[in-house]
Amino acid sequence: MNNGPGNLDGEDEKHFELVDFKPAGKLLQRGRLTLAVMESCTGGLLSAAISSTPGCGEYYLGGITSYATEIKVWAGVRQETVDTHGVVSAETAIEMAQVIRGRFQADIGIGITGVAGPKPQEGVDPGIVFIALDGGDTFAAEARKLDIASEDPDTVKEAAVEAVVEWLGEVLASLQRSSPAGRHST
């Protein structure tokens, strides 16, 4: 049975290894926190990792894959931010996290923007990725710059998703230590 056009370019099929989101997911469940994501250069890989986790419906509200700059702006990232700092910047990543958290009314928003490669974008080299977390009233928005030593888009995507999931887990564990009963406890 033919299920599609097949291999059109002669390259081997690529399969992503999804990052294990279960530890972060359990912490979100314990804290009764919700999550939304706006990702760009990862092309939906973070959403795939989250949505492949059993029980994710308890905390994952959804996401936007905003590969094009216009979609980031359409979603709510200010054009001024993009024009001033560039689409691949800490400021844009933070706004992505803030916008998605607000639009989805989530407790936590994640933003990811960068250059997966193989070519530079707007003078930014492949492997430069900014990840951001925004916790609204729970914790302040913050961004981190990743310099992934690869021009291979798949490697960059996987490393960026792994980094943001690990960071989210650290933040959630820290929150849990400071408030063992969870933010939404009665």
- For the chain, how far is it from start to end, CA to CA, in angstroms? 55
- Mean per-residue pLDDT pooled into runs of 10, the chain (186 residues): 48 76 97 97 97 97 96 98 97 98 98 95 94 95 95 95 98 86 48
- Helix or strand (DSSP H, E) at 25: helix 22-31
Which pTM value belongs to this model?
0.89
Amino acid 125: pLDDT: 94
Q: Count CB-CB contacts under 10 A for residue 184.
A: 11
The fourth-level CATH superfamily of domain 22-174 is: CinA-like (3.90.950.20)
Cα–Cα distances in Å, from 82 out to 103, 105, 185?
19, 23, 38
Amino acid 181: pLDDT: 54
d(C-alpha 121, C-alpha 14), whole Å: 23
What residue segments make up the domains of the chain, in order of their start? 22-174
Amino acid 185: pLDDT: 44
